Structure 1
Amino acid sequence: MTQNIETIVAAHRIAANLRAQGKDPWTYRVRIKDLFVENPKNEDMSEIAQGAAKRLRAALPASMFDVTHQDYDPEIDCIVEAFECICMGDDLDDGELVEEFNTILDDLYNWADINRLWVK
């Protein structure tokens, strides 16, 4: 999901409606920022991405990852699988895996805004 003004407004409306109902605007929460390291190298990125994927699978309902379930969400499934697939490559510069991770992280944040997942 690409973030644009429409998705930003939609996320705000969803949160405002939940608050108006006296509900918590965040349905789910996951902590992944503590996995991050300063100036990561390729060997760090695989570990960080695997940890993020594991925590996302634990924080969200299993039905979101089950293709046979009505609550299956192909977008979050794809995001988590992308984290799981980040691996070290001998021919990659350290910045390349960081860039790949950041692209997946952007996708996660965009999905999280609409689906009320607080990534902290």
Structure 2
Amino acid sequence: MNTFLELIHSRHSFRGEYQALPVKREDLIKIMQAGIDAPSGCNKQTTSFIAIDDPHILKQLLNVIDPPIGQSAPAAICVLTQRIYAYRDKCFAIQDYSAAIENMLLAIIALGYQSC
């Protein structure tokens, strides 16, 4: 990508058949780091991630996703959140995990992958 704006404009949800190539572990770490680097309301850090690239575990996970998406994906990242009240009894978990996911979606494209 030449510019960050081109990266943003080129991102879309991919619902096709994924190539049967593994995602490099170092790339999964970079993608999750992009999520960790996202802003967090009052710095409460409500978001956590689990990367799955083991084919057996991934198949079990993908079998419970409804509607079925990513059935041929070689890896997945589960995004977890916890309700932590921050400022004036407000919780920013939704904003936190939304920002983290957007960062990861952009990192995925920057690294040459597709996602949904």
TM-score normalised over the length of structure 2: 0.37
Which structure dedicates a bigger proportion of its chain to helix? Answer: 1
TM-score normalised over the length of structure 1: 0.36
